[in-house]
Amino acid sequence: MRIAMVSEHASPLAALGGVDAGGQNVYVAALATGLARLGHEVAVYTRRDDAHSPDVVELAPGARVVHVPAGPPSPLPKDELAPYMDEFGRWLARDWVRGGAPDLVHAHFWMSGIAARRAAETLQIPVVQTFHALGAVKRRHQGAADTSPAGRLAAENEIVAAADLVLATCRDERAELLALGGDDSRIDVVPCGVDLDAFVPAPPPTGPRRPRILALGRLVERKGVDVVVRALAELPGAELVVAGGPERSALDRDPEALRLRALARELGVDDRVELLGRVDHDDAAALLASADVVACTPWYEPFGMVPLEAMACARPVVGTAVGGLLDSIEDGVTGLHVPPRDVAATATALRTLLEDQDLAVRMGRAGRQRVERLFGWRRIAEQTEHAYARVVERHRREHPPLRAQTERWLGAHADELAVAAREAAQHADVVDRWGARLAGLLTDGGRVLAAGNGGSAAEAQHFTAELVGRFVEDRRPLSAVCLSAETSSLTAIVNDYGPEEVFARQVGAHGRAGDVLVVLSTSGRSPNVLAAAERAREHGLHVWALTGPGPNPLTELADEALTVAAPSTSVIQEVHLMLLHAVCAAVDARLVPAGPPASRERTDGTPARTAVRAGVA
């Protein structure tokens, strides 16, 4: 399967640089790599934020990262990227037209959903959406501090409604999506995963030391690290290590780091709180292994990968009972749940695990078993693969490939056209009579006028061009005028006399008694065509009509009419053109000298050109 992933702000390449890259970076990198290992071809599209970045970078065998030029090639805050998503989507569509469309596109985050939908609608590709965080949840918890663009909530509602499948990362998120009006049958739960080879159990450090609590993750207020700092005041003798955020050298300028340090000083625990700043992937695994208990206390959490990494390292977890932590931590088995922002409950849970080493070891061991059973990236990739397969199959049923639709249309149209053409061929006597009448009229100084609306107007022009020019063989030019063929007459008449007079006034100008007016109308009811037929009869012209099913008002006005009883306008017009060509052939039969074409000469003495019929392969 050819899989396109769109992760507009979270490049999987950043996941190689440290935990502060964010869970989405890690998720996209691991999922893309896992799917490639299953034999799929994966391309991850992310916004170019560096003018010197290569166009394409290999992430792993079978997986590549494509840098999309959308907006300036420089770093921008995530919340400023929304205006560039249409440009992102247009670039994707062009790229897929050139290089072949993927079987499926998986969008990560709401802005990626805008770009993916923009491109996928053009090429009719199924879209899978993972939000990683919902604007409605963020707004609920952060209120005025929420910096999301104003249109985020509306965009997420539209994405939920339009996606072929939404992959929620936990049951809580699934409930949120249903509350947004999501279709129950189009929402699956596939959790985040953990690298079971990078995060492995290790014996705790030996020797005298303080019991260690570890808080690992992005250094932002909603992660609730301040709750653990406050709880530490009730845990004399324990220490808290906080990892994540900017480089250690930049912590003195980081607002959240400064807030946490001030709080620790206020509580008198600053000698037991250490902020490490950013740590890379390998250091994160070692750091988790050094902890006695891992604290994850966010206000809310779409999923949260740190609890999985802690459990993979066989460390018990104290986590708030929110979002993905409700699914990842098995309360009382692999860790303990606490209410969000509840300092007393957090302190009690931490004390329980720090004082009961046997319980902590059992929970750590159970945590490792749980992630091996449920959260390894290979299992997550397989679950995602199965979800993709269902989406692709359902999309094929609900949206047949455009080629198949085209083939069906052409087949049905050809059948319909064949029936109508056979019926029209039964009127050869009328066609031949028209050809004979025109041959005499046009060589005796008379003229033929032709008119029609829309596609019929194009056919009227086609007909008169064949007569003024030539149909197959060379012959003298014949006087044939297509009414309203140029805009100056058309706009002047409409402006001064109204649209119903557009043909009738030209009939009065160009028609003479004995001339022929050929009018084309698929409905036979167009007011301007009917007015032209009436004016022609008033001036002594013969009126020939080609219409759709009859009888109709135009057939009643015409001296003679050829009707095509086909159900579609396109077939009626095509048969009209066939009949007009037959009239031209009947004219030529009277005016072109007999004999082999190659032996004929033009009226100026030069040899006539031989007609070559073009075939369709």
For the segment 330-340, what is each residue's pLDDT rounded down to a tens digit? Answer: 999 999 999 99
d(CA 88, CA 99): 16
Q: What is the CATH number that goes with domain 212-375?
A: 3.40.50.2000
DSSP one-letter code for 17: G
Average pLDDT rounded to a whole number, residues 106-125: 94
What 3-state class would DSSP assign to 274? Answer: strand
Structure tokens given for 405: 């639709």
Structure tokens given for 171: 């049951």
Helix (H) or strand (E) holding 275: strand 273-277
Domain 2-193+386-397 has CATH 3.30.160.20: no
pLDDT class for 16, splitting at 50, 70, 90? low
d(CA 516, CA 541): 5
d(CA 67, CA 47): 6
Under 8 Å between Cβ of 449 and 516: yes
Under 8 Å between Cβ of 232 and 269: yes
Please give the share of the chain, as a percent, with pLDDT higher than 90: 84
pLDDT class for 605, splitting at 50, 70, 90? very low
d(CA 178, CA 155): 16
- Confirm whether 2-193+386-397 and 212-375 share one CATH topology: yes
Q: Write the class of the CATH domain 414-593.
A: alpha beta
- Above 70 in pLDDT, residue 606? no
pLDDT in tens, 198-254: 999 988 767 788 999 999 998 999 999 999 999 999 999 999 999 999 999 999 999
> Measured on CA atoms in the order 73, 74, 78, 84, is the torsion positive or negative?
negative
Structure tokens given for 268: 């008198």
* Domain regions of the chain by residue span: 2-193+386-397, 212-375, 414-593
DSSP one-letter code for 218: -
d(CA 496, CA 286): 87
Under 8 Å between Cβ of 525 and 497: no
Q: Which residue has the tokens 């929420």?
A: 146
Average pLDDT rounded to a whole number, residues 442-447: 95
Under 8 Å between Cβ of 302 and 326: no
Q: Which residue has the tokens 């805009």?
A: 487
For residue 492, the tally of other CB atoms under 10 A from its CB is 12
d(CA 483, CA 461): 8
d(CA 276, CA 216): 10
Q: Which residue has the tokens 């679950």?
A: 383
Which pTM does this prediction carry? Answer: 0.68
Lowest mean pLDDT of 247-256, 281-290, 449-458, name the range.
Answer: 281-290
Q: Is 316 left (phi over 0), alpha (psi -120 to 50) or beta?
A: beta
| Sheet with 104-108, edge to edge strand ranges | 56-60, 63-68, 41-47, 2-6, 104-108, 127-130, 165-168, 187-189
pLDDT in tens, 367-398: 999 999 999 999 999 999 999 999 999 998 88
- CA distances (Å), 311 to each of 286, 368, 468, in order? 13, 5, 87
